[in-house]
Structure 1
Amino acid sequence: METSLDIALVQTSLFWHDPEKNREHFTSLIDGISKKVDLIVLPETFTTGFTMTPTEIDPSEGELTLSWMKEMAQRQDAAIAGSIPFFEKGQYTNRLFFVEPDGSFRYYDKRHTFTLAGEHLSYARGDKKLILDFRGFRICPMICYDLRFPVWARNTQDYDLLLFVANWPKPRIDAWDTLLKARAIENMAFCIGVNRVGVDKNGYEYPGHTACYDGLGKQMAFSTKDEVLLVNLNKSNLKKVRDQLRFLDDRDAFTLQ
């Protein structure tokens, strides 16, 4: 029996520091998806833009957005994933929630905070990798700057899909394109990156380049427009490649401190 996953990659502009308006915007985009999907992926910090001043936003907005994600997941009978500034235990994290249709959820806190922008000064750093099982796929979600660190993303736990959400700016977009493809090849896994478009309040331009690559690095989807991009992942195709080219058998063993 073949196992496949239909995924909607939502690439759009964001409203700066306006969670309510962003939720309304994403509600409209999600309700307008043209076919039934299993997973809907939103960009990094999709309710605020990539802000270094999360304290300017009401801390209750994190829980409100999590409730909204649960409502949307149930309504669409699809999981929904994306990161937001989340306040807990006296500190903020850049937290990716993966919410399933039954309301259950798991989360991943960004390990590599973007020091160039001072993210480490505003957000606590995560220290736990997340591997989750959903509709026959093992998924490893990560956030933006994590893409630059192959050891953290290394496929030591036999995941099928490596998933990045991002606010990745135009000046370094060639690195984004190259690293997404590299992570797919070296891990023999599907690799998806969902970026935003538009210009934020700080004047940074985001060109999109949301993309999906297969386990050999072949591009399956790509966009620079404000749109919802649909992609289908077939696990039997991935298994066939891994069975024929057993590169993962030669992985180096290591542990992270």
Structure 2
Amino acid sequence: MDENLKIALVQSELAWENPESNRIHFSEIIAAITSDVDLIVLPEMFTTGFTMNPKNISPSEGQKTVTWMQELATKKNMAITGSLVFFENGNYTNRLFFVEPAGQVSQYDKRHTFTLAGEDQVYRAGNDKLIVLYRGFKICPMICYDLRFPVWARNVEDYDILMYVANWPKLRIDAWDALLKARSIENMAYCIGVNRVGEDDAGFDYSGHSSVYDPLGNQLVFSETETVLHVTLSKRRIHELRNKLKFLADRDEFTLKV
């Protein structure tokens, strides 16, 4: 079992509805990462920005991006994850892909589509929670608005890392900060949040605040600017805290309707 997981959080501006431009941009950022990294985390809809007009994106772009992720993961010997506009069986989804170095691909469709922006009208919501076992760590990836729903994220699987990729606007950034910290504490897990910066073509400003919290809610990294944040997470630390503070043993049992 690996004791540590080295993660790079990429907080960046996004080119609006331009997958090719964004792939080039992130290729340059990832190529510049020379330190040893196990996992790269990109924002929500990292090839387009948070568009509610997915028909502006060629249906072939989703698979192009997955292939791009596979090639990079193999070349750099690290996993890559983030969400994108994906077209399948006549439906658009806001789909997160977790791509491992050997080419294995896991996927998660955003369960809580953002009704305030009309996301529920154009993207099909998912119903399946994803737990990825990667280099000895159990990782639960989710997307943006999912952060507001603690029951969906409840740690009934004893995962080690809860992860959110997002396009979370500046005007509600205080909620982002508070909820990421809360999710780490209540689930006794590391909680990662990767957001974007800049302004999108819908007129929303993004101030980043990508961060990582340990199982006690201590903030390990944070930034408001375009940057790559590096953090090393410890499996031993999780075990020590959970053995000392057995809060998860007292969690409520429940059945979630999906």
Please name the residue that 1:27 is paired with: 27
Q: Which moved more, 1:33-42 or 1:7-16?
A: 33-42
Is the 2:40–2:78 contact (alpha carbons within 8 Å) kept by the matching residues of 1? Answer: yes
1:87 aligned to 2:105? no
What CA deviation, in whole Å up to 9, does each residue of 1:34-78 have, x standing for no partner?
301000000000000000000111000000000000001001100
Please name the residue that 1:229 is paired with: 229
Matches of 1:7 and 1:76, distance apart in 2 = 13
Please name the residue that 1:13 is paired with: 13
Whichever residue aligns with residue 17 of structure 2, its letter is H
Please name the residue that 2:125 is paired with: 125
What CA deviation, in whole Å up to 9, does each residue of 1:91-122 have, x standing for no partner?
00000000000111100000000000000011
Whichever residue aligns with residue 102 of structure 1, its letter is A
Please name the residue that 1:252 is paired with: 252
Matches of 1:187 and 1:246, distance apart in 2 = 11
Please name the residue that 1:149 is paired with: 149
Whichever residue aligns with residue 114 of structure 2, its letter is F
Is the 2:211–2:223 contact (alpha carbons within 8 Å) kept by the matching residues of 1? Answer: yes
Matched residue SS, 2:228: strand
Is the 1:2–1:236 contact (alpha carbons within 8 Å) kept by the matching residues of 2? Answer: no
Please name the residue that 1:213 is paired with: 213
1:36 aligned to 2:46? no
Is the 1:6–1:38 contact (alpha carbons within 8 Å) kept by the matching residues of 2? Answer: yes
What CA deviation, in whole Å up to 9, does each residue of 1:137-162 have, x standing for no partner?
00000000000000000000000000
Is the 1:73–1:99 contact (alpha carbons within 8 Å) kept by the matching residues of 2? Answer: yes
Shift of 1:225: 1.0
Whichever residue aligns with residue 225 of structure 2, its letter is K
Is the 2:166–2:194 contact (alpha carbons within 8 Å) kept by the matching residues of 1? Answer: yes
Matched residue SS, 1:185: helix
Is the 2:70–2:100 contact (alpha carbons within 8 Å) kept by the matching residues of 1? Answer: yes
Matches of 2:231 and 2:180, distance apart in 1 = 16
Matches of 1:232 and 1:174, distance apart in 2 = 25
Matches of 1:2 and 1:77, distance apart in 2 = 15
Matches of 2:32 and 2:203, distance apart in 1 = 29
Please name the residue that 2:108 is paired with: 108
* 1:136-215 equivalences in 2 (<5 Å): 136-215=136-215
Whichever residue aligns with residue 164 of structure 1, its letter is Y
What CA deviation, in whole Å up to 9, does each residue of 1:183-226 have, x standing for no partner?
00000000000000000011100000000000000001101110
Matches of 1:211 and 1:223, distance apart in 2 = 7
Q: After TM superposition, where is structure 1 displaced by more than 4 Å over at least 4 residues in a row?
A: none
Matches of 2:20 and 2:158, distance apart in 1 = 38
What percentage of residue pairs aligned between the two structures are identical?
A: 62
Matches of 2:34 and 2:242, distance apart in 1 = 32
Matches of 1:237 and 1:158, distance apart in 2 = 14
Is the 2:2–2:135 contact (alpha carbons within 8 Å) kept by the matching residues of 1? Answer: no
Matches of 2:197 and 2:81, distance apart in 1 = 18
Which segments of 5 or more consecutive residues in structure 2 lack a partner in the other structure? none
Matched residue SS, 2:15: coil
**TM value normalised by structure 1:** 0.99
Please name the residue that 1:48 is paired with: 48
Matches of 2:10 and 2:45, distance apart in 1 = 13
Matches of 1:152 and 1:202, distance apart in 2 = 29
**TM value normalised by structure 2:** 0.99
Question: Alignment RMSD, CA only?
Answer: 0.7
Whichever residue aligns with residue 202 of structure 1, its letter is A
